[in-house]
Amino acid sequence: MTLFLRRLLALAFLLAAGLSFICTAHAQDEKKPSEKKSEAPVDPVAKEAARIKSWEKQMATFAEDDAKKPFPTGETVFVGSSSIRMWKLPDSFGERKVLNRGFGGSQIVDSVTYLDTLVVKHKPKTVVLYAGDNDLASGKPVEKVVGDFKEFVSKLQAALPETKIIYIGIKPSIARWKMVEKVRAANREMQSFAGSSKNVVFIDIDKPMLGENGEPNPELFLKDGLHMTPAGYKVWTALLLPHLDK
């Protein structure tokens, strides 16, 4: 093979390699748009509306229960999140007529939205509310949680101005101990609001639920560190009873 021919073959090889590289790069560029799946931004308002709407089935179940067994007026209705739902009220309050309208995972705004179904229709003498725990855990700021509580009070008093509202402060729990400062900030504001409002009582459960080390007493909590044992409910009952008797 002559020197000229060898050089010609080498040049052809280089040209072929370069063309292959260009084609490969072009093919990869064409794939990039399909590989990058653009995610639509989440609308927080729509997300919250969908979360609230998701309780409609539960409200329908409550309505069915009410139709089958109407609750007498002038008694006590408990409403709020799972700490209410899991409370065996007859064990704590004996012969008192009490209605449990807790629904696990709920936030204060949920009780505001469905207040008529949960509370107003029963025309209670007293309403006991526990919620706010899930609100803070979901990332809602203290101001929003407090604002929702004020809205609950405003809406209920507009419908039932003589009904007493007892709010059990957000508990300090093992599972959510890292957000205790937000819990206490929210509790301080809601306690202040209750103190300046007619027929609104704030029950401070912070210190009674702590051990000698200043952290949540494990005897009061289930293994999940969030929900309570019967001992935890005994603490709540003792703090609540004096206000139910007034």
For the segment 182-209, what is each residue's pLDDT rounded down to a tens digit?
999 999 999 999 999 999 999 999 999 9
- pLDDT digit string (tens) for 66-86? 999 999 999 999 999 999 999
Q: What is the dotted CATH code of the domain comprising 45-244?
A: 3.40.50.1110
Contacts made by residues 154-160, CB under 8 angstroms, sequence distance 24+: 155/112, 155/115, 156/115, 156/119, 156/120, 156/127, 157/198, 157/199, 159/115, 159/116, 159/120, 160/119, 160/120, 160/123, 160/124
Identify the weakest region by mean pLDDT among 2-6, 29-33, 132-136: 29-33
Residue 221 per-residue DSSP state: B
Structure tokens at 192: 């202040």
Domain ranges of the chain: 45-244
Contact 209, 235 (CB under 8 A): yes
Cα maximum dimension of the chain: 114
Instruction: Give the global pTM.
Output: 0.83
- pLDDT digit string (tens) for 81-132? 999 999 999 999 999 999 999 999 999 999 999 999 999 999 999 999 999 9
